Structure 1
Amino acid sequence: MARAEATVEELVSMIEHGKLRLPEMQRRYVWRAPRVRDLLDSLYRGYPSGAILLWESSEDVPLQEFSVGQKANPFQSTLLLLDGQQRLTSLSAVIRGEPVKVRGRQRPIDILFNLEHPDELSVVTEVNEDGDDFDDELDDDEDGDSSEDELMARFNQMAFVVATRKLEQLPHWVRVTDVFKTQSDRDFLKKAGVTSLDDPRAEKYAKRLARLRAIRRYVYRMDVLESSMSYDEVTEIFVRVNSLGAKLRSSDLALAQITAMWRNSLEKFQAFQKRCADDDFDLDLGIFLKAMVAFATGQSRFKTVGSISLERLQEGWSRSCEGMEFALNFLRSNVGIRSPVLLSSPFILIVLAYYGHQRSYKLKEEEADRLRYWTLVANAKGRFSRGSSESILDQDLASISQGAGVAALIDRLRLQFGRLDITPEELEGRNQRSALFKSMFLAFHEAGAVDWQSRLKIAIDHKGSQHRLQFHHIFPKKVLREAGLRPREINDIANLAFVSGKTNRKISDRAPAEYLPKYIADAGEAVFTAQAIPTAPELLEVSAYQDFLKTRREMLAVRLNAFFGS
């Protein structure tokens, strides 16, 4: 294995001119803008950023496209990128000013740089290449009741932020891509109000802009595998290196092994993934691979991938696609779940797919009703979110393959959780990360809940910042903080409701005793009954907050149990 070095600028150029390519075994680009911001922040500080692993190959290796544009490379000999894709794709997009292609959609990566950041950069951000990200379809009101001054004070402590229109208009915030595109500081200084070189800010800003541009000269160490190695050998190295370093998930390593056995299969996998995404179920590729393994072997663990024959893999893939189509249709039509964001675990899909397959996709009415009940309870209780999720999934798959019906699946839920109905006590201490929060949305949606102003039925796919759904603190965070309550109490699931962004911003930090009566007078009680919100005046005072939570938990439990059925 040879060792070499290259600057960021050189590596970006290699990507642009097609001299650096991605082998089929690589996972897709998954970083979101905050991760890119953190990478730039680390490089700006001069922190280490790991090594790059390459393979110099003249073999005809199956390739996939980078998420940024590349020119055709007329030479057969190519350097293949095995480790470092997330970092180099991100840097290429920012330095070249190009959007990245993620799951078929073009997305800009727009990061702003703060010319007035503190001299001492105290917020340390760790950047690595693990984990997967996807778009949140339900907004938090994280800063909904924070004042503009509080937000600006927070931003002004940072060197880099993901761009917003308001920040971009401020004089001391500049687009990182614009800085990389020119060596001149004139326009940036002019925007910041620096009109003379005698201005003390001129030298400070110029040094900071130079330091930012110096990211292009950051040197990465490159480990280069020899061209004499075969695709299978390189795949084995890729799997071992990433297994030892715990950089990639098991699905990413399984993909490398599968594509080594089944050449050009990635295109098939991604085509089906895109079909599901086009139908509003944008799922990680690893879920489809796990379904394939389940259909091929009757169990879900990727550790068996290396011993599965190519014929079984191909047959498993074909059957799993049919099963997943059934599962997605069942979720949409029978359960009312129309987006993966409302699932506590995508493993539920694999169980539904496998069950439908074992029943030859012929279910009786009562059986379908019971399967709906199992789906809702498994989702609300978080069946695959506790303990060893793969072991639990394998238990369900084993029951189904042995001919057991839905009753056996429900019995397994009862063994895991005891009682299957929702109690008020079970809601205590839960927050928006709880599986029950997703179930609340489903129950409210079925009850006809609407936004308190627009009267649009709550939905996670509304367009536009005014109508995009957010979860709202009925008692605003600022009000409760001033009353001395802890974050755990403030973010209690019983203090959350679903409204549009516009409604959330209009309410801001007003107490419910002030704003709720006006909405009740305008919209009526039914709007709040649909979201199981108590409206008795005595419960809307801050001093009665604990009583409000207790009352709403009781109402929520009744609503959820009615929604699940029996």
Structure 2
Amino acid sequence: MAEKYNASNIALEQILNFIKSGEIAIPEIQRPFVWKPKQVRDLIDSLYTGYPTGYLIISQSPNMKLKNGSLSEGKKIMIDGQQRVTALMTAIMGLEVINANFEKKRIKIAFNPLANPENDEELFKVQDNAILRDRRWIADIAEVFKPTFDLWQFVNDYCTANSEINGSELNKILMRLMDIKNRQIGVITLDKELTIDEVTEIFIRINSQGAKLNQADFAMSKIAANTNYGGNMLRKAIDYFSHLAVQPDWYTDMCKDTEFMATPFAEKLKWLKDDREEIFDPDYNDILRIAFMYKFGRAKMRDLVSLLGGRDFETREYKEEIAETSFQKLTEGVMGFMNEYTFRNFVLTIKSAGFVTNKLINSQMTLDFAYTLYLILNADPNIDKAKIKHYVAKWYVMTTLTSRYITSPETVMDADIRRIKERGFLTYFEEVEAADLSDTFWNVGLVQNLETSAINSPYFNIYLAAQIYSGDSALFTNGSKIGDLITVIGDVHHIFPKKYLIRNGWTEKSKYNQIANYTYLDTQVNKAVSDDAPYIYFSKALEQCETKQLIYGNITDLDILHKNIEQNCIPANIIEMEHTDYDSFLNERRRLMAQKIKSYYYSL
């Protein structure tokens, strides 16, 4: 059996030169460096003292057939070890890195030749003002590694300033420091014929932490490493969008990247500087996935990795024209994703369906497919544009209710995209709806799904979205909307008060915290209810409609109170209920909640 990888030891200086020359691509240099300065210091200390620093893993792309018929050697891309190598490049080579705030900065590591490790004195430290004032410290070791470094002159100057060390001793110490560049680093180069699945499996087995190689990360590495088809700028566009979506004020910093600002992407991102919406803040994984599904009609990220490498799925060859076309299509997909009109309208679609806060979003995959569907329908001439929001909202709610993209999401999304293309969306939508939303689902399945104590349950979130969509008011209030309580100051409270249930023997947390026992209440109403039994405080609410003296909320009209109780799916006989009725209350309220969700879905 052929070896799947080759292991070797290469001098640190040679590895850094390979990266500097582009022989090995390290795309993470273009992305935020997440290591803390102390981690950089620890790495340098490990190299100096001869401790192991782990393997670097390099994936070699297959040879690609060029348009003239010749073969191009596959590019080598580092898929594990980027942070370590980036740390070395900033500490030893003096290069700037991009930090978590997307600012270019150096991490400077200082060295103290006079330190005695046996007395717990540190040889290396992250440079600070105290070090700059201390003549014992070499403030930046990158100076020592420069080709122009004058060792003889430096030794003379240092010994003059620090008489406790002689030139011979200092020379030996500095030679040991400079010998870091000759340290052997373990490098594992994966065979270029390996599939993405095999690369992923080997990565997991070799990686000491057992971390999973994210296929989107692999795809992004291929994108960033490709300068022929604009991959480096495409990757920046994806990264910058996800950063601006979270921090719009970062736009002024992005503008400092003059090379990027000269690309068509910059204009597409401009609107994000004024965007404060938090419903959908996609990361690079989401952007890449949606752009790929939208333009390629596929959902498996391993296919994108192969296509960007130029793979012909029929002949199993790698061809330049396929790579070129794939980069072009992906760029179009990303540009379509970033379009202000479509993005804002999609967010508006989700919000208008009642999902007014990201607290009600359970699955990012489900949201990703909903936006993909929006883009697909928007480009379909056979779809009535006025109904796109309607279709996307219903599909999002349906797929959330049925957990469609929770198990094996890529496989299911891949099948959905293909069938939408083959049969047309409307025909396929009717088929899925008939199969997944039968009467049995509404009357039995959904009722059973509502039997949970998980407050972040998708079924409870959709119930809340249904209330928001209908403009329902919180219990015992007329005008205090559920949507306002969720987004501002409200909180969920127990209809059968928790202390009341515990006092009467219902001590299991999973029982008294059932979502069917939850409702949104105004804080003052909740305090007034306290730990009373339902039959007590609901009776008082009815009396309030006669006496007109406010005890709970602001409702003094009997018809409005009955409507309010109905809006919140409270059984009509709640006025008679005590702890012995708790189980029957839960069963009835689940049924009412399921009915409300059903009515909501068909009204979208």
- TM-score computed with the length of structure 1 as normaliser: 0.55
Once residues 182 and 514 of structure 2 are traced to their aligned partners in structure 1, the CA distance between those partners, rounded to angstroms, is 53
Return the offset for 1:377. Answer: 2.1
Residues 381, 436 of structure 1: 8 Å contact kept: no
Once residues 460 and 257 of structure 1 are traced to their aligned partners in structure 2, the CA distance between those partners, rounded to angstroms, is 45
Q: In structure 2, what is the equivalent of residue 434 of structure 1?
A: 457
Q: In structure 2, what is the equivalent of residue 292 of structure 1?
A: 291
1:533 aligns with 2:570: yes
Residues 437 and 458 (structure 1), Cα distance of their counterparts in 2 relative to 1, 3 Å cut:
same
Return the offset for 1:427. Answer: 2.1
Residues 295, 317 of structure 1: 8 Å contact kept: no
1:459 aligns with 2:483: yes
Name the one with the larger helix percent. 2
Return the offset for 1:508. Answer: 4.8
Residues 473, 480 of structure 2: 8 Å contact kept: yes
Give deviations 1:76-97, integer Å, cap 9, x for gaps.
99xxxxxxxxxxxxxxxxxxxx
Mapping for residues 172-183 of structure 1, pairs under 5 Å:
none
Return the offset for 1:329. Answer: 3.4
Q: In structure 1, what is the equivalent of residue 405 of structure 2?
A: 384
Amino acid in the other structure paired with 2:585: F
Secondary structure, in 3 states, of the residue corresponding to 2:405? helix
Return the offset for 1:461. Answer: 7.4
Alpha-carbon RMSD: 4.5
Mapping for residues 142-157 of structure 1, pairs under 5 Å:
none
1:272 aligns with 2:241: yes
1:512 aligns with 2:512: no
Residues 200, 212 of structure 2: 8 Å contact kept: no
Once residues 23 and 239 of structure 1 are traced to their aligned partners in structure 2, the CA distance between those partners, rounded to angstroms, is 25
Q: In structure 1, what is the equivalent of residue 371 of structure 2?
A: 353
Give deviations 1:191-244, integer Å, cap 9, x for gaps.
xxxxxxxxxxxxxxxxxxxxxxxxxxxxxxxx99989999x99xx999975784
Give deviations 1:366-410, integer Å, cap 9, x for gaps.
66545443332222232223x212211112111223351233034
Q: In structure 1, what is the equivalent of residue 224 of structure 2?
A: 259
Mapping for residues 204-283 of structure 1, pairs under 5 Å:
244=207, 245-246=210-211, 249-261=214-226, 262-273=231-242, 274-275=244-245, 278-283=276-281
Return the offset for 1:266. Answer: 4.8
Residues 475, 568 of structure 2: 8 Å contact kept: no
Residues 427 and 256 (structure 1), Cα distance of their counterparts in 2 relative to 1, 3 Å cut:
farther
Q: In structure 1, what is the equivalent of residue 504 of structure 2?
A: 483
Amino acid in the other structure paired with 1:291: I
Secondary structure, in 3 states, of the residue corresponding to 1:451? coil
Secondary structure, in 3 states, of the residue corresponding to 2:472? coil
Of 24, 43, 48, 2:30 maps to: 24
1:64 aligns with 2:81: no
Aligned length: 376
Once residues 441 and 312 of structure 1 are traced to their aligned partners in structure 2, the CA distance between those partners, rounded to angstroms, is 39
Secondary structure, in 3 states, of the residue corresponding to 1:57? helix
Q: Mark the runs of 5 or more structure 1 residues left unpaired by the alignment.
A: 5-21, 30-49, 78-222
Secondary structure, in 3 states, of the residue corresponding to 1:517? helix
Once residues 251 and 505 of structure 1 are traced to their aligned partners in structure 2, the CA distance between those partners, rounded to angstroms, is 49
Return the offset for 1:426. Answer: 2.8
| Identical-pair percentage | 17
Amino acid in the other structure paired with 2:334: W
Q: In structure 1, what is the equivalent of residue 333 of structure 2?
A: 316
Q: In structure 1, what is the equivalent of residue 427 of structure 2?
A: 407
Once residues 181 and 568 of structure 2 are traced to their aligned partners in structure 1, the CA distance between those partners, rounded to angstroms, is 58
Residues 293, 305 of structure 1: 8 Å contact kept: yes
Amino acid in the other structure paired with 1:412: V
- TM-score computed with the length of structure 2 as normaliser: 0.52
Residues 382 and 519 (structure 1), Cα distance of their counterparts in 2 relative to 1, 3 Å cut:
farther
Once residues 29 and 526 of structure 2 are traced to their aligned partners in structure 1, the CA distance between those partners, rounded to angstroms, is 46
Give deviations 1:137-184, integer Å, cap 9, x for gaps.
xxxxxxxxxxxxxxxxxxxxxxxxxxxxxxxxxxxxxxxxxxxxxxxx
Give deviations 1:294-331, integer Å, cap 9, x for gaps.
13432222223433233333222112334645532332
Return the offset for 1:473. Answer: 1.9
Q: In structure 2, what is the equivalent of residue 494 of structure 1?
A: 516
Amino acid in the other structure paired with 1:426: L
Amino acid in the other structure paired with 1:24: Q
1:550 aligns with 2:548: no
Q: Mark the runs of 5 or more structure 2 residues left unpaired by the alignment.
A: 1-8, 13-27, 36-52, 55-80, 111-179, 191-195, 246-271, 309-322, 545-549, 556-560
Residues 479, 509 of structure 1: 8 Å contact kept: yes
